[in-house]
Chain A
Amino acid sequence: MRIDITGLTKRYRGGVAALDGLDLTVPTGMFGLLGANGAGKTTLMRILAGLLHPTAGEVRVGGHDVTTRAGRRAVQRTLGYLPQDVGVYPDLTAREFLDYVALLKGLDDGPSRRRRVGELLEVVGLTSEAGRRLKGYSGGMRRRVGIAQALLADPRLLIVDEPTAGLDPEERIRFRTLLAQLAGDRTVLLSTHIVDDVAQTCRELAVLSAGRQVFRGTVAELTREADGHVWSVVTQGPAPAGTVVSAVPEESGMRYRVVAADRPGADAEPLRPTLEDGYLALNLRTRPAAPAR
């Protein structure tokens, strides 16, 4: 299911532009969406899920125009959506909550709906807790319920906003693997701050900044943005110039991994870049200059 976005603009009251003439094409398969806070990722996802009306522009999902009611409804029939701060009803059990959402998604046949709910509880590892009220669940367990509800109607389009936030490392790996397996002939749009999740699951991605697309390409291409800009510096003094990716204390001082436009020091050693380095290098290049003081 292909997504075509042309000139998409969303202005909130007060004139703040969350999306500013965004052009983006998302093909079938797993697609990553990166960007700093306020870049417009969540607004884009809410528009795709039919929760927000764009101010201007065109959005087509599988040929349906989501700016119309009929188009929105058609997309929602094939949509699985996991919002960033997914909530649940504390007075229902996990099984009841999933059953409720399944009914709203049009899974009317009782036996097959109950079977599907049972399968997904198994997938997210909550079968033994399924009869317990959700008010007793931890944040991670509620997140897993949120993941299960997104998968209920066997969606052709899966929109997941920060899906692994709040999950422990093992759950995180399990869930991102599940997403990658689901991709196949579906479209999975993964928005996250965790660059590693994109590196491990997506072939293609886009980076948003201030409501615009600043990069669209493969993971390898974004990684290459940092070619020749990643350095390892060991120093006992202040951190070197550039964006510090990591700092590890050693006997001889602090070892910094730095993304910088120029070699930060004579003894700086070049390193092979990762996707995170590429993302930071792109940010260095595209970030609006700070106003002069």
Chain B
Amino acid sequence: MTAALRYECRMMLRKRSMWIALGLITLLLAGSSAAQWRDLFHDGDARRVMGSVALLLNIFLPAGYGCLIADRLVRDDRLGVAPVLDATPASPAGRLAGKYLGVCAAVVLPMALLYFGWAVPYAAVTGGWPAVGWALAGFATVLLPAVLVVGAFALAVPLLIPAPLFRVLFVGYWFWGNSITADVMPTLAQSVLTPIGAYPLALFGVEGVIAGPQPGATLNFLRPEVTTATAGLSIGLLLVLAALTLCAAHAVRARTTR
């Protein structure tokens, strides 16, 4: 697993399109929300500020990462590398786990650079030491689970449908499942299965984040009241979903290669 992790991470970090996408998304975020960034930088409520920054990053970055990761597993067959790797005594499940963690680590790195690159000056100028703690909490409860869910889906689903089609559907899903208000149409948004992290973000006190029961919305059984426990439940469910998706990918791959 560690070999796959090490080399998949290295290959992903060498993917030029990842850095180009990151640059473009950063420019988009900086340009479209310049006033918001400025206000946040001078806001003394470190908890809310670090939650807000996590939300801003989580709106676009995971969608881009899903598109970038989509070819990572299926390309082994396309490139003709799969028979070489499959003929080694390394466990296929371990290799899949290593690949998953490797690509996730590679996309988390630039995300962490952006997030903490903003958090450190904010902590130094406005937020103080508590900002560092809230930044770590935001990273662990909001950004990381989103990347882990997106990584699992982006590796697994292209085994069933072509990667370009997955990318289109995934971007659609990301905005449907995260940004649509639940009373407009049936959606997973504002529920415990929202990968953008609505439940933990609500605990950070981020303005504009809606989570919990919505009057008149369908699927309200997925929207319990926001508490620390339900936020933890949301994170746990997302991680379980990621693990199940990887297990399914392993099963599909084993079936198609036998």
A residues adjacent to B (C-beta < 8 A):
46, 49-53, 73, 76-77, 79, 81, 83, 85-92, 96, 100-101, 103-106, 146, 149
Contacts and interface: CB of A to CB of B under 8 A. Distances in A.
Nearest to B14: A91
A91 B80 CA distance: 14
A69 to B, nearest CB: 10
Given A86-B83, A103-B3, A104-B88, 6 more contacts: A51-B87, A76-B89, A83-B87, A90-B79, A101-B85, A103-B2
Nearest to B3: A103
B10 to A, nearest CB: 7
Contacts of B83: 46, 49, 51, 81, 83, 86
Contacts of B90: 104-106
B2 to A, nearest CB: 8
B228 to A, nearest CB: 42
Contact of A100 (B3, B15, B82): B3
A50 B87 contact: yes
B89 A85 contact: no
B41 to A, nearest CB: 37
A81 B258 contact: no
B87 A81 contact: yes
A79 B89 CA distance: 9
28 contacts: A46-B83, A49-B83, A51-B87, A53-B258, A76-B88, A76-B89, A83-B83, A86-B80, A86-B83, A87-B79, A87-B82, A89-B7, A89-B11, A89-B81, A90-B79, A92-B11, A96-B7, A101-B84, A101-B88, A103-B2, A103-B6, A104-B3, A104-B88, A104-B89, A104-B95, A105-B88, A106-B89, A149-B84
Contacts of B95: 104
A100 B5 CA distance: 10
Which of B3, B15, B89 has the most CB atoms of chain A within a 10 A radius of its CB? B89
Nearest to B89: A76
B131 to A, nearest CB: 37
Interface in B1-52: 2-4, 6-7, 10-11, 14-15
Contacts of A101: 84-85, 88
B183 interface: no
Taking residues whose C-beta sits less than 8 angstroms from the other chain, chain B's interface range is 20 to 34
Interface string B70-87: 000000000111111111
B124 to A, nearest CB: 37
A101 B3 CA distance: 9
Given A91-B14, A104-B95, A83 B89 contact: no
Nearest to A78: B89
Majority secondary structure, B binding face: helix
A88 B11 CA distance: 12
Nearest to A50: B87
Nearest to A142: B80
A81 B11 contact: no
Contacts of A106: 89-90
Given A87-B79, A87-B80, A87-B81, A92 B10 contact: yes
B98 to A, nearest CB: 10
A65 to B, nearest CB: 16
Given A83-B80, A89-B11, A51 B257 contact: yes
A88 to B, nearest CB: 7
B257 A83 contact: no
A73 B89 contact: yes
A104 B85 contact: yes
Nearest to B86: A51
B84 to A, nearest CB: 6
Nearest to A82: B84
A53 B255 CA distance: 10
Which among A86, A90, A100 has the highest number of chain B CB atoms within 10 Å? A100
Contacts of B257: 51-52
A79 B79 contact: no
Contacts of A92: 7, 10-11
Given A51-B257, A104-B90, A85 B85 contact: no
A73 to B, nearest CB: 5
Contacts of A81: 83-84, 87
Contacts of A79: 87
A282 to B, nearest CB: 30
B10 A88 contact: no
B79 A89 contact: yes
A273 B8 CA distance: 53
Contacts of B79: 87-90
Interface in B91-110: 95
Contacts of A53: 258
A283 to B, nearest CB: 28
A89 B88 CA distance: 16
Given A53-B258, A83-B83, A91 B11 contact: yes
